[in-house]
A and B are shown apart, each in its own frame.
Chain A
Amino acid sequence: MAMRLIRSLALVAVFFMPFQAFAVLKVEITGGSDSALPIAIVPFGAEGQKAPEDISSIIRNDLESSGRFAPLDNQDLVSRPTEQSQVNFADWRLLRSEGLVIGKISSQDGENYQVQFQLFDVYRGQQLAGKRYQVPASGLRALGHQIADVIYETLTGEKGIFSTRLAFVTQITAGDGKKRFALQISDADGANPRTVLQSTQPIMSPSWAPDGDQLSYVSFENGKTEVFVQQLLSGQRKSVASFEGINSAPAWSPDGRKLALTLSRNGNPEIYVLELANGDLIRVTNNAQAIDTEAVWSRDGNDIYFTSDRGGRPQIYKVSANGGRAERISFEGNYNASPDLSPDGSKLAMVHGTNGGFYIAVQDLKTGSMQVLTESGRAESPSFAPNGQMILYATEQKGSGVLAAVSVDGRIHQRLSESGTVVREPAWSPLKK
């Protein structure tokens, strides 16, 4: 009896044996918070001449506007160090701040400024980034964006886009009742706008050359649609497509040597590729029953995405840049148009029409799944930020066209321009080389 008991117990023991050596506690964290990264940006210390720009405020606004950072309110800052030796990391840990930015700005003459900043990892007490600059007073704002880019990139691993620019078309009605159109460029935050082209006739479809130094656009200034390419620094420009019929929707190839265009020189709007160096023209699409337009290059330059109503309703298709059979890309809903490809080529942003409204949507090109990012029903002209995180678009607010941006996950929404001016047709510049 006893032996049997022992034996059975032994069996039980053997049975239980594998459970004895259970491993350490394992915890899996998925999802995480979508909230912004808490960061402390301490107002820079100032010495000498007062700076015309508040650099730390520019940095703070940039980071905050990205939606990716949640800078502490200045009133919540436990201390205001301007040098590393003054930093007590424990204080900042209590605030759950992951990053800490401190800096100094000084000038002897009020013309040239010495600026330095440091970014710290609060929990490890390490400096993650730190630089010194010397800039003229006029460069202080740009420097602020640049520093914000460094911080952004350091903390997110993505390129900062605060030094990039936006191109867009404004329309104002002048005192004489006449409309004025202007092609403008601004900083990424919508500030510091400057006019590239002004016209009494409509200006449409600005498109950035990959080098960021040129723009192509459509202008009606000559009473018809015409595609121009313009050097931004010199202002020099030239007409590159002025064919009979429609000349519209220019799109730079990734190598900057070609423009994809919509031309109706043969009667029906089709996609063409123009070799800028010699003007050679290749017809890419050939579908007399449909409108093919709004071309955008794949990142390798081999393919072209475009909008076509060849299926009856506008949808996104893809075709080889050398022509050939087009492949339908969008399937959800009965209206998808105005595509823009993400910088990494993985997503397609588009205007998605549904229930009489038009929304910005993103389609994952691998999975085909589409996500609608905006809520207002009057969105148009999506354009990816060069880091692929935001999508700039035009929309209407109180009857006026405004610029807005949304993060690719739809979480962050920004409005970039004040109402009062009609702003349309935005395009986000590439990164500065």
Chain B
Amino acid sequence: MKHSIVQNLIAGGASTILHVLLVLLLIFSFEMPTEIRQFGQPEVEIVQATVIDEDLVLEEMARLQEAEDKQRAAEEERQQKLDEQLEKSQQELARQEQELLDMQERAKLEAEKRKQEAEQEQQRLKQEAEKEQQRLKELEQQRIEQEEARKQAELERQKAEAAKQQAEAERKAAEQAKQKAEAEREAAEKAREAAEAKRKAEEEAQRKAQEEAKRKAEEEAKRKAEEEAKRKEAEAKRKAEEEAKRKAAEEEAKRKAEAKRLAEAKARAEAEASLQRQLDAEAKQRTQKRIAGILDTYGLQIQQRITRYWTKPANAQTGLLVTLEVKLIPGGDIRSVRVIKSSGSEIFDRSAENAVYKAAPMPMPSDPDAAQKIISEGIEIYFKPE
């Protein structure tokens, strides 16, 4: 198979090359050597021998023989195919060669044809140069003829000039007539123009009047617009002023209201503070009253207790009076007993002091304020025999 592919490739490549060569031949030369390569027989594979078991060998040999037979058959078949292919290729080559020969023939014919055409062209160019020579001669002839015609024309022109001057005079007369007519026409024109001017003036006046009116109207409108604008502006200004005024008034009112509110708040706060002070004072007074009430009761308690413990001197005379200042500690025990004002009787004073000591610990009011007051201020106790 390998070989066939190569062959195909080579065949393919060869055909391509052939085509190229043919083209080259056509272009450069018709005498190009043609080389055809003959491919050789393919090499037979060498089988390496391996002695194994005799039977196996036999078997193998048989198998190999068989394979060889098969291979040979295949080879033969392949060879046949290759031969066929070769045949085909040779036929193809023959065909291509025939085509090449055809082409060479056609190229020969072509060249022949082109040579004939060039000869024809040479002939034609010679004829054309002859024609040009002829034409130049004709042209000189024509120039001479035209010069003569020009001189003739000058004469005719001078003649025409005279005729023209005459015509000019005639024309001037005609011109004067024409001017006259023109003046008349102009007068008429002027009249017409005057009328036209008048009309135009009138129209202009009218237009102006209209424009004036229009202007006035516009001015009026403008004025009005301005006035309106002014009015509006004034209005706006007024409004703005009013607004400003109103705002100012509002501000003022607001400020005043605020001031009033503040003043009222202040007054209220002061009143409240005052009220609070009064309430505090009242609360204080209530507390004091409460304390006073408690102290009244407490005083009775103390009185009873101390009286119970007071061993009054039997000979204490009416009129004796001792004043003690008694300080207590929170538990009701005695911190100190001091004679503030003596009765004059040491015995009487001592009996009073002892009464206080013996009465200790004193009861204390459960009310902390009252108790605090008693502790902080002490108690003044008067002792009288009767």
Which residues of A approach B to under 8 Å, CB–CB?
2-3, 5-6, 9-10, 12-13, 16, 19-20, 22-38, 68, 93, 96, 98, 121, 123-124, 155-158, 388-389, 407, 409, 411
- Bound-state CA distance A2–B267 (Å) is 9
Tell me if A27 and B379 are in contact (CB < 8 A): yes
Known: A29-B383, A30-B385. A20 touches B285 (CB 8 A): yes
Chain A residues, CB < 8 A from B312: 31-34
A-B CB contact pairs (8 Å), 29 listed: A2-B268, A6-B271, A12-B282, A16-B281, A20-B284, A20-B285, A22-B288, A24-B380, A25-B302, A25-B379, A27-B379, A27-B380, A29-B307, A29-B381, A30-B384, A32-B310, A32-B311, A32-B355, A32-B385, A33-B311, A38-B311, A96-B358, A123-B353, A123-B357, A124-B353, A156-B313, A156-B347, A407-B314, A411-B314
Q: A2-B267, A9-B275, A24-B380 are in contact. Are A31 and B307 (CB under 8 A)?
A: yes
> Assuming A26-B380, A29-B381, what are 16 further A-B pairs, CB within 8 angstroms?
A6-B274, A9-B278, A13-B281, A22-B288, A24-B378, A25-B295, A25-B302, A28-B303, A29-B306, A29-B352, A31-B307, A33-B310, A33-B312, A123-B353, A157-B313, A158-B315
The number of A-B residue pairs with CB atoms under 8 Å apart is 135
Q: If the complex has contacts A26-B299, A123-B357, A389-B315, are A31 and B275 also in contact, measured as CB distance less than 8 A?
A: no
Q: Which 9 A-B pairs have the closest CB atoms?
A: A32-B312, A157-B347, A32-B310, A123-B357, A24-B377, A9-B278, A2-B271, A28-B382, A26-B380
State which of A27, A121, A407 has its C-beta within 8 Å of the C-beta of B306: A27
B358-386 interface (Cβ within 8 A of A): 358, 373-374, 377-386
Q: Do residues B303 and A27 form an inter-chain contact, with CB atoms below 8 A? A: yes
| B81 sits at the interface (CB 8 A) | no
> Given A68-B314, A96-B309, A123-B353, are A22 and B382 neighbors across the interface (CB < 8 Å)?
no
A26-B378 Cα distance, complex, nearest whole Å: 9
Q: Which residue of A lies closest to B376 (CB)?
A: A24
For B292, the chain A residues whose CB sits under 8 A away are: 22
Does the CB pair A123–B379 fall under 8 Å? no
Per-position 1/0 for B286-313, Cβ under 8 A of A: 0011001001001100110011111111
Known A-B contacts A16-B285, A123-B354, A157-B315; A25 and B383 likewise in contact (beta carbons under 8 Å)? no
Is A28 touching B274 in the complex (CB atoms < 8 A)?
A: no
Closest to A388 in B: B315
Query: Which B residues, 193 to 239, have Cβ-Cβ distances below 8 Å to chain A?
Result: none
Closest to B281 in A: A13
Q: Write the B306-340 contact mask toward A (1 if CB under 8 angstroms, else 0).
A: 11111111110000000000000000000000000
Question: Is B345 interfacial (CB-CB < 8 Å)?
Answer: yes
Point out the residue from A20, A93, A156 that lies within 8 Å of B357, measured CB to CB: A93
Q: Is the interface of B mostly helix, strand, loop or mixed?
A: helix
Q: Is B119 an interface residue (CB 8 A)?
A: no
Partner of A6, one of B275, B307, B385: B275
Give the chain B neighbours of A13 by CB distance below 8 A: 278, 281
Cβ of A29 and Cβ of B310 under 8 Å apart?
yes
Question: Does B299 lie within 8 Å of A35, measured CB to CB?
Answer: no
Instruction: Establish whether residues B354 and A98, one from each chain, have CB atoms under 8 Å apart when the complex forms.
Output: yes
Q: Which residue of A lies closest to B383 (CB)?
A: A29
Most B CB atoms within 10 A — which of A30, A37, A96, A407? Answer: A30
Which residues from B are CB-within-8-Å of A20? 281, 284-285, 288
Beta-carbon nearest neighbor of A22 in chain B: B292
User: Interface centre among B271, B298, B352, by most A CB within 10 Å?
Assistant: B271
Q: Which residues of B contact A388 (CB under 8 A)?
A: 315
Residues of A within 8 A of B377 (CB): 24-25
A206, B347: Cα distance in complex, Å: 35
User: Please, how many angstroms separate the alpha-carbon atoms of A259 and B348 in the complex?
Assistant: 38
* A68 vs B106: C-alpha distance when bound (angstroms): 190
**Could you tell me if B306 and A26 are in contact, using CB atoms closer than 8 angstroms?**
no
CA distance A406 to B378 in the complex (A): 41
Give B66 Cβ to nearest chain A Cβ, in Å: 142
**What is the chain A residue whose CB lies nearest that of B377?**
A24
Q: Which A residues are in CB contact (< 8 Å) with B282? A: 12, 16
Known: A123-B357, A156-B347. A25 touches B380 (CB 8 A): yes
Q: Which residue of A lies closest to B354 (CB)?
A: A98
The docked-state distance in angstroms from the alpha carbon of A67 to that of B309 is 17
Nearest chain-A residue to B279 (Cβ)? A9
In the bound complex, do residue A29 and residue B299 qualify as a contact, i.e. CB atoms below 8 Å apart? no
Task: Verify A121–B358 contact, CB threshold 8 A.
Answer: no
Task: Report the bound CA distance from A37 to B348 in whole Å.
Answer: 12
Contact assessment for A31 and B298 in the assembled complex, using a CB-CB cutoff below 8 Å = no
Which residue in B348, B374, B386 is a CB contact (below 8 Å) of A30? B386
Q: Name B384's closest neighbour in chain A (CB-CB).
A: A30
